[in-house]
Amino acid sequence: MRSHVLATIAVVATSMALVGCATLQRTVEVQSDLDSLTKSGAVGSIATLDDNSTTTVLTSGVPHQTNGDSIGPRYRVRIAGVTKTFTAALVLQLVAQDKVGLDAPVQRYLPGLVPGDTITVRHLLQHRSGLAEFAGEPNADEWVAANENRTLTPADAVAIALSKPAQFEPGSAFRYTNTNYIVLGMLVEAVTGRSYADELRTRILEPLELEDTYLPPPGERDIRGEHMTGYADLPGGRTDVSRIEPSIPWSAGALVSTGKDLNTFWRALLSGRIVPENELTEMTTPHAGATEAEGLGYGLGVGSTELPCGVTYIGHSGGIYGYYTLSGATEDRAYTVTLTSTPKEQPDIVAMLSHALCP
């Protein structure tokens, strides 16, 4: 997983699919953002905007650099860290059902998994547990593992993290790590007695009819159906890295989805259809001192910021081999953008969000 680094994305030819009617200015500005990414060396990019009544899909570049095809409006991508918001939503549903306590020790639900009883469920959701990062280690690299035909269990991932010193005392600081959300996936399974994949499907994917969103099982390394290919600049040159081992990112970053599905998810989340009002307030309230790389204040599985126009954006970002996704919503609009290779110049995230979401 590469959770806060632009990992790959794309461009060369521009295609546009418009459904309904977005303002011309918004469309022009978002298209310009995508084209700038292409000019900066990205292979392809796709942005999906939703304003309640209409959906607009804009693209730049190509889905695969080996041919000149256009990017389709429902092409799937790996959404990486945006998976964490889905996991947080599952946990907060269990909190609302009095099956999990936000301030209860993790030991209550997963005895013996993490040391001591000072790490709470809230600490995991806020990345304040102090648990070290497991991802990226030689035996926990999803692209290398796919090439070597290896999988990784969640327990093994946690064991890798626990083999390193704690980063800080639980609750005393903020440090974004995938380990926190692997433990939360295990917690969902322990409390419900069902697999994380089953809970995700029955609680979120099926009720919202997110037909293009799925969690690949261990060993399923290719993306189903039409999708954008992810690329990385490796020592041997630009390389197709879209084939990865999903058991490594799992509940922290393995979901595959589309802009349309993600926008539907954010609209449902912020309207209270997934997480009840009390828990949603907890979820979307940033913790003091918890700030993501993109400058978003971090709550429970989501980031938030006030855009220059005064509207509040709630969302999450995610980077994994070949893909970087930024996805979220305001009260009136939802926006998802994915790149499939790293541009030479880092994009201005706040400007992109403002162009897509400000009135």
Domains of the chain, CATH where assigned: 16-357 (3.40.710.10)
Alpha carbons 112 and 107: distance in angstroms, whole number: 6
Alpha carbons 142 and 245: distance in angstroms, whole number: 5
What integer pLDDT is reported at residue 174 of this predicted model? 94
Q: Which of 319, 318, 290 is nearest to 305 (CA)?
A: 290
359 residues of the chain, pLDDT tens digit each: 433 333 222 222 233 333 334 478 899 999 999 999 999 989 999 999 998 788 999 999 999 998 878 999 999 999 999 999 999 999 999 999 999 999 999 999 999 999 989 999 999 999 999 999 999 998 999 999 999 999 999 999 999 999 999 999 999 999 999 999 999 999 999 999 999 999 999 999 999 999 999 999 999 999 999 999 999 999 989 999 999 999 999 999 999 999 999 999 999 999 999 999 999 999 999 987 777 666 679 999 999 999 999 999 999 999 999 999 999 999 999 999 999 998 888 899 999 999 999 98
**C-alpha distances in angstroms, 95 versus 85, 91, 98?**
15, 6, 5
Report helix, strand or coil for 120: strand
Which residue do the tokens 């953002």 mark? Answer: 33
Q: For the chain, what is the radius of gyration of the CA atoms?
A: 19
**C-alpha distances in angstroms, 65 versus 42, 104, 112, 319?**
10, 49, 48, 20
